[in-house]
Each structure stands twice: as C-alpha cells, then as structure tokens.
Structure 1
Amino acid sequence: MMKRLPLILLLNALGVALFLSWYLPLNHGFWFPLDSGLFHFFNQELVKSRAFLWLVALTNNRAFDGISLLAMGCLMLSFWRKADAEGRRRIIMIGLVMLLTAVVINQLAQGLMPVKRASPSLSFPDIYRVSELLHIPTKDASKDSFPGDHGMMLLIFSGFMLRYFGKKAFVIALIIVVVFAFPRVMIGAHWLTDIVIGSLSAVLIGLPWMLLTPLSDRLVDLFCCYLPGGRNKIKTNK
C-alpha cells in the first residue's frame, strides 16, 4: 500500500481540485456557461427533431437503466465464461464488492458534498419537458441532481474493470459510461457537472482507497470464503 500511497493521494487531490474548481467560483465560474449552453442546445433539439425527442425519451426510460445493467453484466460475463469454477466464483464476488463500494461511496458523497440543486429542467423558465411533449414515462427532472448517482455507479464499474480485468475492459466500460450516463444530460435530468464534477470527484476521492489498497482483494477473499459455497479459508494475495 505504501508504494501506491502517492498515487492514491494524487487522485484524491485531483478529485478535490476538480470539485473546488466548480464549487468555489461565483456562479460556478466557467462551468455554468458550459452547463447552461449544453442544456439549452439539447432542449431546443427536442422540438426540432421528432426522432431525437423519441431517442432521448426512450434512453431515459427506466427500462434503459436495465439495459445499462445488462451491458455491464455482459462485459463481466465475457470474462466469467473463460474462467474455471474458482475464477467464476471470484468474478461474482468482485461484482458484489463493486456494488457494496458503489453504495458506500454514493452515500458518503450524498452526505458530505455541501451541494443541493435541482436539475436544469427545473431551473430554467420556458423550456421543453420530454414528459410533457410525449406523455410517456421518462426521467426528465430531479429535485436533487448532484452528484449524479447513475454516473457514479458507471464510473465505479469502470474502475473495477481496470483493476481486475485490464485496459481493454476499461475502455469498453468508459464507452458504457458515455452511452448510459449522457442521456441524462441530454434530457435535462442532470447538469453535465453533476457527472464530470459530482460523480467523478467522488470516485477519484473514494475509489482509490478501495482498489489501490488491499481492501478490495480482502473483501473479495472474504466473500469467496464465507458466502454460501465457500471453503472458509482465506487465500492470501501476494
């Protein structure tokens, strides 16, 4: 752990600096024009293109969240299929540790970040709401959108892919992040900075202490040994 401590602290410092670059400036400095401009660009496109309107509506339906889980599951399944029985069990436990990590980091971020703001669709007057244009179930607003919990989960997934499955899996995971997190920005349910500031800074601060220390490996070993089907004997990772 001591060899990785400088890297952990560097990533933490980047996370803090990223958050403060948005939090400290008056009206969030250069970030607000970027947030506002991006929201208004996509908001106008909703009434210019019927196809775009339907695309945004469908990709923010709850069913689409299930597709994001399926995409993550398929990526892990590609490694699970190549592993032996012990390796398959370990991959499942890595998934459980990942979910536990996501819950803990999300709860800490929600509790410790001194920010509460509504989504852009609730912040600007005279804008278009997808739910009003189509009258179908879709998430186009949030009373507390910061940090983006959906984006945070996807970024944590990406971190676990890099740690346990390599760079190629990491690149695929980042593509999944963009495909499944950005529709929230396009519809106005999240500001861009909910993800690139809120989610990313929380992940940079919290995730290194899990993945760059023995903690994640030890939790995986514990789950492998003591959950049903385990051998009740912890294997030491060298």
Structure 2
Amino acid sequence: MITPEPVFSTRWRPLAFISTQLVAALLLLSFASDAGREIWRSIDRSVFFTLNGSLFHNEPWAHFWAWMNTREVDALSAVVMLLFLIFPGLGGLRRHQLQAAFTGFLLLMLLMLPMRELLSEYAHSAGLSGPSPSLQLQPAYLFGEHLPEIPAKDSASTSFPGDHASVLLVWVGFLLFIRRSPATFCAAGLGIFLMLPRLFGGAHWFTDAAVGGMCLALTTLAWAWATPVAGWLNRWLLMGLTPLYRLAGRIPLLGRLPFFNPGR
C-alpha cells in the first residue's frame, strides 16, 4: 500500500507563521487607516470604471460577463476547482495524494469559516464594510437593468470581505503549496480569471478581494504552510471519510475514477 505524501506542513515553522499573519495584519491595517483607505479606494474606483465601464459599448462583452456572474457558472467553477483535486496531473497532484488533498481543501474551508466571521464582524464595527461599487459609483453598468433576461449578480449590500475571492485564493495557494508545476500555475491563472466576474459586474470592490480575500487566505493557509496542525486535523478527517470514499468507490463507473483507486 502506498503511503500518501503529506499535503500540509509536517513541522512547525514559527517565523513563517508569524510573518504570514503579520503580512495579513499589515494589509488589513493599510485599508483600515484613513490615509491607506483613501489610496485603496482610489485604486477601487479606477478598477471599477475600467472593467465595468468596458461593458457599456460592447454587447457581446457585456453578455459574456453577465453569464460569468450567474449561479450556474459559479457552480461550474466549483466543479472545475474540485476536478483539479480529484484527477491526478490536472492540479499537479499524484494519484495517491488525491484523497488527502480533497479532504485537506475541505478542512481549509472549515478553518476559514470562523476567521471569516471574525473579519466580517471587525469590518462592520470599524466601518470598512459597505455596499458594492455598483451601488455607490456612477455611471455603473447594471446587468439587472441592461440584461434583465440574465440572472446575473451585479450588487451586494455588504461586500467586504470577498468570500468568492478568498475561496479561490485558498484553492490556488493550497495547490501551489503541494506542488509547483505548469498545472498548478495554470490553476493560479484560472483562479485569478474567476475572480474577475464580480469586479466587472461591480458586486465587489477590488479591495474586497485584494485585502479582504487575501487576508483570509493568508491566515488560513498559514496553518497549512507553517504548522503541522492542519496535517493532524486532516489525518483525523481523512480517517473519518475513508469509509465513505470506499463506499462511493463501489458505485459502478464512479469506482473507476483514480480518486477511489489511489493504489493502482
């Protein structure tokens, strides 16, 4: 039986852990301070008017980004992300790493939830969170007004931090941590691309992703990069899910997938 290679750090790296948390804190502080926030908001406005403004005079372009902001495409994006974790080579993973990697990504999502709630509460109390740019800046191309036939997301009453971006950044960081390869660099490019729809539609500010999403990703990934804690938790979670994986592997056709046959 092949012993799965670890997908998380197996040792304590206190300097790396502290440095990562410090970078996240400084990034958030740069947005929380009055001077820093004005700089970030200037960038936000430039990004919004450049991306959202490009939709006004190009109907096919507007249709494309409208569809990219639908729940159907969000679901498809989630499926694509999971494919990188359950097929060997697609995300640079080896066959016997797939179950540990898939379970590990689920674990990171669970670890990020309380951090997301803490950041959201802080942002609300500090006045950092508010309506999306499509509700505050003019002119704004709203999919609901120009393309009502497409059920596209184009606004949010509270947009910080960017949940969509934080999940994508954790996914990219996780794959790059496990292995740096052409496949994982392609995944990084895909992750950046999948963050763009919310920026084009104006449902998120650039800082929702660059500050909020990045802070969440860094604090979450620090447990994978610089401590063995995530590795310990992942082994326990994998032990609990292994019977379920074995049961699913008995389903005809599904059981032929490499995910359910790591030793072959």
Same fold (TM over 0.5): yes
Answering whether residue 137 of structure 2 is matched by residue 124 of structure 1, we say yes
Residue 109 (structure 2) aligns with: 99
Please state how far the C-alpha of 1:74 moved relative to its aligned partner. Answer: 1.6
8 Å CA contact 2:68–2:197 kept in 1: the answer is: yes
- Shift of the 22–126 alpha-carbon distance from structure 1 to 2, 3 Å rule, reads same
Structure 2 CA distance, aligned partners of 1:227 and 1:127? Answer: 47
Task: Flag structure 2 segments of 5+ consecutive residues without an equivalent.
Answer: 1-9, 245-264
8 Å CA contact 1:105–1:203 kept in 2: the answer is: no
Residue 48 (structure 1) aligns with: 57
Residue type of the alignment partner of 2:19: L
8 Å CA contact 1:151–1:195 kept in 2: the answer is: yes
Structure 2 CA distance, aligned partners of 1:229 and 1:3? Answer: 30
Answering whether residue 180 of structure 2 is matched by residue 171 of structure 1, we say no
Structure 1 CA distance, aligned partners of 2:102 and 2:220? Answer: 22
Out of 210, 216, 225, the residue aligned to residue 230 of structure 2 is: 216
Residue 186 (structure 1) aligns with: 200
Over the aligned positions, Cα root-mean-square deviation in angstroms equals 2.3
Residue 235 (structure 1) aligns with: none
Residue 206 (structure 1) aligns with: 220
Structure 2 CA distance, aligned partners of 1:70 and 1:79? Answer: 15
Secondary structure of 1:65's counterpart equals helix
Moved more, 124-133 or 3-12: 124-133
In the superposition, the TM-score normalised over structure 1's length comes to: 0.85
Moved more, 215-224 or 97-106: 97-106
- Shift of the 56–99 alpha-carbon distance from structure 1 to 2, 3 Å rule, reads same
Residue 171 (structure 2) aligns with: 157
8 Å CA contact 1:129–1:140 kept in 2: the answer is: yes
Structure 2 CA distance, aligned partners of 1:27 and 1:222? Answer: 42
Deviations 1:129-178 (A, max 9, x none): 111101021000000000100000111112221333x1125423321221
Residue 236 (structure 1) aligns with: none
- Shift of the 27–97 alpha-carbon distance from structure 1 to 2, 3 Å rule, reads closer
Residue type of the alignment partner of 2:131: A
Q: How many percent identity over aligned positions? A: 26
- Shift of the 93–127 alpha-carbon distance from structure 1 to 2, 3 Å rule, reads closer
Residue type of the alignment partner of 2:28: F
Please state how far the C-alpha of 1:19 moved relative to its aligned partner. Answer: 1.5
Q: How many pairs does the alignment contain?
A: 227
Residue 66 (structure 1) aligns with: 75
Residue 42 (structure 2) aligns with: 33
Please state how far the C-alpha of 1:2 moved relative to its aligned partner. Answer: 7.6
Structure 2 CA distance, aligned partners of 1:124 and 1:177? Answer: 27
